[in-house]
Amino acid sequence: MRCHMEKTEKELLDRAKRPGKIAMSWHPFYRGKTEVIAKCRVKDLSDFGVWYTPGVAEPCMAIAGDPMQAYEHTNKWNYVAVASNGTRVLGLGDIGPLAGYPVMEGKALLFKYLGGVDSTALMVDTKDPDNFIETVKMVAPTFGGINLEDIRTPDCFYILDRLRKELDIPVWHDDQQGTAAITLAGIINGLKVAGKKLGDARITLVGAGAANICLARTLMKAGAAPGKLVIVDSKGALHSGRKDLEKDSGKNPHKWELALATNSEKITGDIAASLKGADVLVSASTPGPGTIKKEWLKGMAHDPVVFAEANPVPEIWPWEAAEVGVKIFGTGRSDFPNQVNNSIGFPGIFRGTLDVRASTITDEMHIAAAYSIAGTAEERGIGADYLVPTMEETDVFINTAVAVAEKAMEQGVARLKRTRQDLRETAEFMISSSRAKTKLMMDHGFIPEPPEVD
């Protein structure tokens, strides 16, 4: 048995390394993943008299008279910046803006292909959060939305909070709200499979970075009991007696606020102590294996829901969890059931946000997205091995877009009022046309086949 497990682990590790090997061949072959291409008529050169001088002066004057006309005369209505300084890239850490560029360009590709949202990487060469904020504010007129990405903690909280207040376009941090939305969707359906309710569940979050801090706040807004929520950082469970957190509250107030609001029993100690009696475990921590020990899971409640979200190796392997009776289990990987991945959420969330010209993305909007994602899976029939949709299920992005847009209109942050049918038709068209254009360029050789990799 041990030999088989070691072989399986080696195979999985080899499989996890293969995309990186292919990436080193395909990235230089294409020299990037996105490009700018015309979407307007250019029948002959005389058309440039309309698109550029002298004709362009008329829409310029229209915008000068009414700034909202920019949404009618430019691509601002569908254009999102993926803004990052590269201080916390994936599992790579602080590698800087230039080295983080491939990740943000990949994010832009996902925006376009999955959500029909035009996007570009915006790499900002500063570690000073105030400089970062001012840079984004200065370029914000170009865009209809800002997606913050891979920014270190606690800077990411400060940057998001300020930009949300100071800009009149939606600002979102996918490592916070995106992870919270898809994880909440998984928890909703996981608890349904287990026959439990969110308000009654004891939930343990391992890791107190951007993802789990936002998830904790989202869970409480969605109906989880704050006192039954326990968050664990590298020094143990968060609680009101943690003097180190109180001392550091000026720099990182979010952890201290959660220490005061959660863990009413004042559970102390390590991960194992925090898992006793827990119905749900979400780990967004150090890649494993071994970060979460299988024997610790034995102390959880019956039919627990466990998400080990670290990449490329989850904090505990699925088969290790299965050995101690865990049946409802998810990871961030696509080669196991129940992939908890932001890519299922943000394309549809931004699609809906842009389609009603929302001024912000509220917490309630990304919670509405979570319930829509969960509902899309439930319509197909959820079970231990199917809690959330996959990226292949296009309707999840359409359903999410409609749910988010409707919530924005309900909350009064939408500048446009649209019917559900109109929203659905728009999302369907934008997403299907994006994929069709990509296929058309591939079919005609404008996007050539990359070289094979052994």
Q: Tens digits of per-residue pLDDT, 200-251?
A: 999 999 999 999 999 999 999 999 999 999 999 999 999 999 999 999 999 8
Token pair of 396 as six digits? 């999840």
85 DSSP assignment: -
Could you tell me what percent of the chain has a pLDDT over 70? 98
pLDDT (mean) for 136-146: 98
Question: Is the per-residue pLDDT at 408 higher than 90?
Answer: yes
Higher pLDDT, 357 or 288: 357
- Domain boundaries, given as residue ranges, for the chain: 33-175, 176-426
Residue 113 CB contacts under 8 Å (≥ 6 apart), including other chains? 434, 435, 438
| 21 annotated active-site | no
Q: Which of 158, 162, 223 is nearest to 187 (CA)?
A: 223
Calculate the alpha carbon distances from 160 to 60, 117, 148, 184, 416 in Å. Answer: 31, 21, 8, 20, 24
Q: What number is the average pLDDT over the span 447-453?
A: 95
Catalytic residue, from 10, 52, 197, 439: name it. Answer: 52
Task: Determine if residue 124 is left, alpha or beta; phi over 0 gives left, psi from -120 to 50 gives alpha, anything else beta.
Answer: beta
| pTM score of the predicted model | 0.94
The residue whose two tokens read 């209505």 is 77
Q: Is 69's pLDDT higher than 90? A: yes
Mean of pLDDT values over 336-365: 96
- Give the CATH class of 33-175: alpha beta
Whether 32 shows a pLDDT value over 70: the answer reads yes
Query: Is domain 176-426 given the CATH code 3.40.50.720 in the classification?
Result: yes
Of the pLDDT bands very low, low, confident and very high (cuts 50, 70, 90), residue 106 is: very high
Please indicate whether residue 107 is annotated as part of the active site.
Answer: yes
Q: Tell me which of 76, 79, 107, 407 is the catalytic residue.
A: 107
In the block, tokens 């993926």 appear at 82
Identify the band that residue 1 occupies on the pLDDT scale cut at 50, 70 and 90: very low
What Rg value do the Cα atoms of the chain yield, rounded?
A: 23
- The dihedral through the CA atoms of 261, 267, 269, 275 has a sign that is negative
In the predicted model, is pLDDT for residue 7 greater than 70?
no
Tell me whether domains 33-175 and 176-426 share a fold. Answer: yes
Cis peptide before 389 (omega within 30 of 0): no
> Under DSSP, is residue 173 helix (H, G, I), strand (E, B) or coil?
strand
Closest CA to 224 of 212, 232, 237, 215: 215
- Confidence at 416, pLDDT banded by 50, 70, 90: very high
Please give the Cα distance from 86 to 92 (Å, whole number). Answer: 9
> What's the mean pLDDT when you consider all of the chain?
95
